[in-house]
Amino acid sequence: MHAKTLTAASLILAALPGCKSNGVHANPDDIINVNPEEITIQGGAYGITPKDDQPFYKIDGTGKLWFIEFSVLDPAGLPRNAIEVSVTSLFEGIAIIPPSAVRTVDKPALPDGIESRSDIVDACTDDEGNYTNDQEWCAYYYDVDSGTFVDFGSDYAYNDGYAPNYAEVETDGNGVARVYLFLDWIPNGTGEYASLETDVVGSIGYSSAVYTLTYEPEKVDESK
């Protein structure tokens, strides 16, 4: 278990009771779509150079942040606004985050004495090894794609042990509901990352749309 992951940190995005929308239920004949429908990511661990256009590193507090959009239409193809969409990730390493809970922050200035990853872990965990954000900079994550630090709003953060793989959002005036995905970690075994194909499902009750993520691993350099 990573010292700082979305599943073991104070930035746990609770399936219940957080991440709730104020939308209304869809009609039985409404249709939901997702854009895009899939993504493929290549990468490896620290010390391995992934492809420039899709990097991912196995470093605590580091991952890939991007968004997808679900659209809800009536049978005539017209957008349906204020419709509740439930979004579920089928892999616990992918967090579902409402747009209102995502903000970019300035690069944090580390206090004196923080010179290594182990220093960060020591500063950001309690005596039992549990993550704590008593110091604000401990709560920030780094998006390898944009090169920016991000903060996930505390109104979606809970410490009750829920997995962060569920959110409810509502469509806007164009019939579109956006959610952010944060790929925090990839399963790995003995020296290698596991291949991963998993789905994020958006549902309006009577209809659903599936977004598929495929991860292509590279060998882990354990000497790094």
> What integer best gives the mean pLDDT of the chain?
76
* CATH, domain range 12-217: 2.60.40.1930
Q: Count other C-beta atoms under 10 Å from residue 149's C-beta.
A: 18
Q: Which of 9-18, 72-81, 163-172 has the lowest mean pLDDT?
A: 9-18
Q: Is 192 a residue whose pLDDT tops 70? A: no
For the chain, domain boundaries: 12-217
Which token pair is 124?
A: 């950001």
Tens digit of pLDDT for each residue in 50-73? 555 545 555 567 788 899 999 999
Any idea which residue has 């992934």 for tokens?
A: 50
The pTM is what? 0.75
Tens digit of pLDDT for each residue in 148-185? 888 887 545 443 444 478 888 999 999 999 999 998 87
Residue 9's nearest CA partner among 158, 178, 198, 201 is: 158
